[in-house]
Amino acid sequence: MTDPNCPTTPPSAIATPIRDRWAELHAAAVSALTEAVRHEPGGEPIDFGEFLASVLETVAANVGSVARLVAGRSNSNEAACIHSLAGGESATPEWLAPGRSEPVVVPLDIWDIFGNNGIGESDGPLSKTLQRYQHYTAAFEAAVVVESARLGLTVPVTVQTITDPEMALRAAGGADAIAARLRAYAIEAAARVLLTEGSPTDGVTED
């Protein structure tokens, strides 16, 4: 019997291809969870509540935050249940990061960052611009490595350079809060490289 506080309503009003995919995902989730409930090591049932909470915590880590889990309807009864099971207010990026099971991609919209600091693509000789680009990229990547280790991430973390302004705008929005956290740290840590001609890792330190 379904808990009246956590009703489940299929998306009947949306387009057929999306509804079909929803049905496929729903069936796969039901199958996996049913198998988990029937798994009785030593003849004893598992703690299904703990199992489900652990699954939701990992999913939240993979998408960056608990808020992402309930973004479709954050004020619903279902959202309140999910939010609580997935860690609630305790589920910060620091708390979620060690449990992440999927790689993290950190966007680097380098020309936007340069522009915000008054540096244009045509400032000085091309060789000097390219050198500054390479130095900043290296410092940014080094900072991402430092913060990834501090957060306890054990999955691959890569930096993806973005040149499309629209994509850069979306990246700045930070849908993946863990990736956004790494990006914000790297921007701050690599800021000195914008003003110097020193080592690519100037200003990047391990705490």
Q: Looking at the domain assignment, is residue 132 inside a domain? A: yes
At 130, list the tokens.
Answer: 């390219």
Q: Are residues 37 and 86 in the same domain?
A: yes
Q: What is the mean pLDDT of residues 19-24?
A: 88
Q: What percent of the chain has pLDDT over 70?
A: 74
Q: Looking at the domain assignment, is residue 182 inside a domain? A: yes
Q: Looking at the domain assignment, is residue 53 inside a domain? A: yes
Q: Which residues pair with 106 in a beta bridge?
A: 159
Q: What is the mean pLDDT of residues 65-74?
A: 90
Q: Looking at the domain assignment, is residue 158 inside a domain? A: yes
Range of 120's domain? 103-194
Contacts of 185 (CB under 8 A, 6+ apart): 143, 144, 146, 147
Residue 138 in this model has a pLDDT that exceeds 70: yes
Note the pLDDT of residue 201: 47
Q: Looking at the domain assignment, is residue 11 inside a domain? A: no
Provide the pLDDT confidence category of residue 112 given band limits of 50, 70 and 90: confident
Q: What is the mean pLDDT of residues 77-88?
A: 91
Where would I find the beta strands (DSSP E) of the chain? 104-108, 157-161
Provide the pLDDT confidence category of residue 24 given band limits of 50, 70 and 90: very high
Q: Are residues 150 and 87 in the same domain?
A: no
Contact in structure between 193 and 135 (CB atoms under 8 Å): yes
Note the pLDDT of residue 143: 95
Question: pLDDT averaged over the chain?
Answer: 82
Q: Are residues 73 and 139 in the same domain?
A: no
At 97, list the tokens.
Answer: 């990061």
Q: Are residues 87 and 107 in the same domain?
A: no
Higher-confidence position of 147 and 8? 147
Q: Looking at the domain assignment, is residue 26 inside a domain? A: yes
Q: Looking at the domain assignment, is residue 136 inside a domain? A: yes
Among the three residues 91, 116, 139, which one is the final residue of a domain in this structure?
91
Q: Are residues 128 and 180 in the same domain?
A: yes
Q: What percent of the chain has pLDDT over 90?
A: 48
